[in-house]
Amino acid sequence: MNATVNTFSFKQIAIDFKEITKAGLAVSVVFSSIAGYLLGVLDFHDLKVTTLLMLAVGGYCMVGASNAFNQVIEKDLDALMDRTKNRPVASGRMSPNHALFVASLLTIVGLILLYLINPKSAMFGAISIFLYTSVYTPLKQYTPLSVFVGAFPGAIPFMLGWVAATNNFGIEAGTLFLIQFFWQFPHFWAIGWLLFDDYQKAGFFMLPTGKRDTSTALQTILYCVWLLIASMLPCLGYTGRLFLSPIAAGIVFLLGVWMIIYAVKLYQERTTKAARTLMLVSVSYISLLQLVYIIDKFLR
């Protein structure tokens, strides 16, 4: 009987850790950081497995800490929404103090690992946690500008990988930041549109106009256009070592058009189905774009 109880307890702890750190999101963020790292190194011979591991684990800790702090701050609001009411803190399975301990531990471990790579990486990791927990999280209840603020920590991981590889923040890292920054808007507005009713229960303002209207859809298209422009910058030859070949640029352009097409469909249809499709397309888009950048770099 004791073995069964212990097995169940460990399983539940693992499940709660996965939920409080939002493992799916954290892994996707780690992928962005690794992509930035691969773009930053000169070639395969410069790859350092230890640095890559520290970046992956440190990056996961940073995102996990942000999400854990967020779930403590929003525990009462999470309990109001169907999507979040079963989260560990909101449901009462984990006490706020335990969650704070987990968040603090993840912050310390993450910052140490990133600092061991280089101080700049730790600085950007710390900025990311601060903006997400202290600015973006409270703003969600007051203004749609919260998405703008949230786009900053959301855009850091891709750039962070480059900084981890080069110990330098220049035009290349800035371009990677810009790409992921503009990507945040259509992605999160699609989610905001899809979960509009649920967000309303907690009083969150996630859409630019506060409504599922043509203006929100139009702004989504606009940011998809800005995203396309930002993603094409490396093919112009002004972004230092970050460069795209003509073939890769063509693929990146088509990916951008793909995003715009589904943003236009949201504008035309204004349905949750169209928003869900755009959200899924946006997730695929950012991963595919990063893969194209990486493959193009190492095939040239």
pLDDT digits (tens, 9 = 90+) for 133-161: 999 999 998 988 899 999 999 999 999 99
Residue 57 in any domain: the answer is yes
From 65, 73, 52, 160, select the one nearest 110 (Cα to Cα): 65
For residues 284 and 255, what is the distance between their CA atoms, to the nearest angstrom?
Answer: 10
Residue 109 in any domain: the answer is yes
Q: Is the pLDDT of residue 92 over 70?
A: yes
Q: Is the pLDDT of residue 230 over 50?
A: yes
From 272, 278, 273, select the one nearest 259 (Cα to Cα): 278
Residue 265 in any domain: the answer is yes
What per-residue confidence (pLDDT) applies to 204? 87
Q: Are residues 140 and 196 in the same domain?
A: no
Domain extent at residue 137: 7-168
Place of tokens 């371009």: 175
What per-residue confidence (pLDDT) applies to 61? 96
Q: Are residues 43 and 112 in the same domain?
A: yes
- Which of residues 109, 133, 168 is at a domain's end? 168
Residue 86 in any domain: the answer is yes
What per-residue confidence (pLDDT) applies to 8? 54
Rounded percentage of the chain residues whose pLDDT exceeds 90: 76
Q: Are residues 11 and 146 in the same domain?
A: yes
- Which of residues 140, 168, 196 is at a domain's end? 168
Q: Are residues 19 and 102 in the same domain?
A: yes
Confidence bin at 14 (pLDDT 50/70/90):
confident
- Which of residues 114, 133, 168 is at a domain's end? 168
Residue 2 in any domain: the answer is no
Residue 139 in any domain: the answer is yes
Q: Are residues 32 and 153 in the same domain?
A: yes
Mean per-residue pLDDT of the chain? 92
**pTM for the model:** 0.91
- The residues, any chain, with a CB within 8 Å of residue 148's CB and separated by 6 or more, are none
Amino acid type, 190: A
Q: Is the pLDDT of residue 7 over 60?
A: no
Residue 267 in any domain: the answer is yes
Domain containing residue 136: CATH number:
1.10.357.140
For 30-58, what is the mean pLDDT? 92
pLDDT digits (tens, 9 = 90+) for 266-277: 999 999 999 999
The number of folded domains in the chain is 2
